[in-house]
Amino acid sequence: MITAKARAVDGPDKSFRAAEIKRRDLDLHDVLIEIKYAGICHSDIHTAHGEWGAVNYPLVPGHEIAGVVSDVGGEVTKYKVGDRVGVGCMVDSCGECESCRKGEEQYCLKGNVPTYAGVDKYGEPTQGGYSTHIVVTEDFVVRIPDNIELDAAAPLLCAGITTYSPLNHWGAGTGKKVAVVGMGGLGHMAVKIANAMGAEVTVLSQTLNKKEDGLKFGAKNYYATSDPETFEKLVGSFDLIINTVSAKIDISAYLSLLTLDGTLVNVGAPAEPLSLNVFSLIGHRRSFAGSMIGGIRETQEMLDFCAKHNIIPNIEVISADQIDEAYERVLASDVKYRFVIDISTM
């Protein structure tokens, strides 16, 4: 067993504390990663607070992991000691079902193994990246391109792929009008990626406070959703809307902003159900869809795309003692635009 230092939480209302966790000894296809940076995703907060259902505490969150390979199992072929690598939201899947065979392991019909708050094939609870080391089977490890620093790479492993995948799937590109709802961790990546894909991007944020940043990230337009005129003005405007909001919003109001045959993709995952007025869909043959992260192959494609287009997340690096404070700030929409934990402070 390998001992790793970590930050764990013991219940929905508890603060983070220092902890020691065990990582399994390397199996033939396992890679040991010395974690350098871990991003803080809003999903970590939903999970730590028990909003998505019962959690087995203590919990070590973190699924935006960037680090360096420090050991490999006897039959590992893809990575060697010293390689710069990343791990995202899942660490395994069945490998045999239709989804896995298509490279869409996130939709594994038997359920993928999440990086934390899951159970691995050995029956052990999985623990995430707020820790110094992790052991992952090589098929669920991706390579970080040389021109992306490890701290900035971390958020790409969830915020990057979760926005790249639906933009790719629904064909964001030249001639397409794309709106991004909510400009936090996921939202700011969606703006940068959609812009690089060639789409005309509009941000729909609660206020105009971050407008200057949004335009710098590549948005052409930026509107405040607190202004009712925004919804009147933009009716029927967008081919694709990516909703990244972590809370319940009036989906019908946003659906009305789609063109004929337009699609609103929900990636935001609030615990409360969203309700909608079906007339906002049927009138213009619109679609309301969802999307979850992306497969391993697509995650590597996204990293290479970001490297090629110089797409780097805007991050604020924090120490391990600042996780609670960072959670508070994310909940207050006071994040520009991703907190990343410097694991050396653990």
User: In the complex, which residues of this chain contact ligand NAP (CB under 6 A)?
Assistant: 41-43, 46, 158-159, 162, 182-187, 205-206, 244-247, 249, 267-270, 291-293, 330, 333, 335
By CB under 5 A, name the one of 4, 7, 43, 99 that touches Zn ion: 43
- Residue 297 tokens read as 């192959």
Q: Does 251 bind Zn ion (CB under 5 A)?
A: no
Closer residue to ligand NAP in complex, CB, 85/293: 293
CB count within 10 Å of CB 52 equals 13
Collapsing DSSP states into helix, strand and coil, what is residue 330?
helix
Among 4, 41, 203, 341, binds Zn ion (CB under 5 A): 41
Note whether 203 and 179 are within 8 A (CB). Answer: yes
Q: Nearer Cβ to ligand NAP, position 46 or 143?
A: 46
Instruction: Using the minimum distance from each CB to Zn ion, give the nearer residue, 4 or 41.
Output: 41
* Min CB(26)–ligand NAP separation in Å: 29
Residue for token pair 């708050």: 117
Shortest Cβ 322–Zn ion spacing (Å): 19
Cis amide prior to 122 (ω within 30 degrees):
no
Can you tell me the distance from the alpha carbon of 183 to that of 335, in angstroms, rounded to the nearest whole number? Answer: 9
Binds 142, which of ligand NAP, Zn ion, none (CB < 5 to 8 A, cut-off by type)? none
Q: How many residues bind Zn ion, per CB under 5 A?
A: 3
Chain position whose Cβ is nearest to Zn ion = 41
Q: Where are the beta strands (DSSP E) in 78-210?
A: 84-87, 90-92, 113-114, 133-137, 142-143, 177-181, 200-205
Q: 262-282 b/e with 16+ CB inside 10 Å = b?
A: bbbbbbbbbeeeeeeeeebbe
Q: How far is the CB of 74 from ligand NAP (least distance, A)?
A: 34
42 interacts with, out of ligand NAP, Zn ion, none, CB within 5 to 8 A per kind = ligand NAP
Under the binding rule (CB under 5 A), the answer on residue 158 touching Zn ion is: yes
Question: Considering the complex, what minimum distance in angstroms separates the CB of residue 260 from Zn ion?
Answer: 33
**Given the rule CB under 5 A, which of 157-165, 198-206, 226-234, 266-274 is the region that contacts Zn ion?**
157-165
Using DSSP's 3-state secondary structure scheme, residue 189 falls into helix
Shortest distance (Å) from residue 289 CB to ligand NAP: 11
> Nearest distance from residue 69's CB to ligand NAP, in Å?
25
Tokens of 1: 């067993």
**What are residue 264's DSSP bridge partners?**
241, 288
Decide: is 244 part of the binding site for Zn ion (CB under 5 A).
Answer: no
Count of beta carbons in the 10 Å neighbourhood of residue 120: 17
Instruction: Report DSSP letters for 149-163, one per residue.
Output: -HHHHGGGGTHHHHH
Residue 206 vs 314, nearer CB to ligand NAP? 206
Q: Which residues bind Zn ion (CB under 5 A)?
A: 41, 43, 158
